[in-house]
Amino acid sequence: MSEPIHIISLGAGVQSSTMALMAAAGEITPMPKCAIFADTQAEPKSVYTWLDWLEKQLPFPVHRVTQGSLEADTLKIRKRKDGTGYYSHSGVPAFTKSFDGNLGMMPRQCTGDFKLAPIMREIRRILKESGQKQGVQWIGISVDEIYRMKPAVCATA
């Protein structure tokens, strides 16, 4: 059985960018086949500027994938299936304050819809195209963000 393909999940932040640059310099191995950046089409201009620079530093390609515009999806008014009304399907992390002063956050699903789903779709495509059954996804999380760690999800070709 051949070695699995290694793929960086590139958010273009400090952790994933450092990981990509370290891999490019041979400081962490094996060399990834590619990195995948999930574009919400709503990132700050500085993210795209940074990503343009970063891509030129890497010996492996960066695949930019998208689920579409997060902004357009957030503002879209949808009609209920039963025809009884309309609703907004905002999956962004909107913060709230209740009448009694408690702070909270509305449910969000933009990470799953606009980051994870397109990345997993691209990983499956890459695995299938290469004839591989296994892949290793690199995710950069620093110790101060250890609470973000979650169990791995498998993507099969």
pLDDT band at 142 (very low <50, low <70, confident <90, very high): confident
How many domains does the structure of the chain reveal? Answer: 1
Domain extent at residue 49: 5-71+114-148
Assigned domain for 96 exists: no
pLDDT band at 40 (very low <50, low <70, confident <90, very high): confident
Assigned domain for 87 exists: no
Assigned domain for 138 exists: yes
Assigned domain for 44 exists: yes
Question: What is the chain's mean pLDDT, rounded?
Answer: 85
CATH number at residue 67: 3.40.50
pLDDT of 61-99, one tens digit each? 999 999 876 665 666 576 788 888 776 666 666 677 778
Q: What is the pTM of this model?
A: 0.76
Assigned domain for 85 exists: no
Assigned domain for 99 exists: no
- Cα 89 to Cα 99: distance, rounded to the nearest angstrom: 23
User: Which amino acid, residue 19?
Assistant: M
Give 81's Cβ-side CA count (13 Å radius): 0
Task: Tell me: cis bond preceding 30? Omega within 30 of 0 counts.
Answer: yes
Mean pLDDT of 2-23: 94
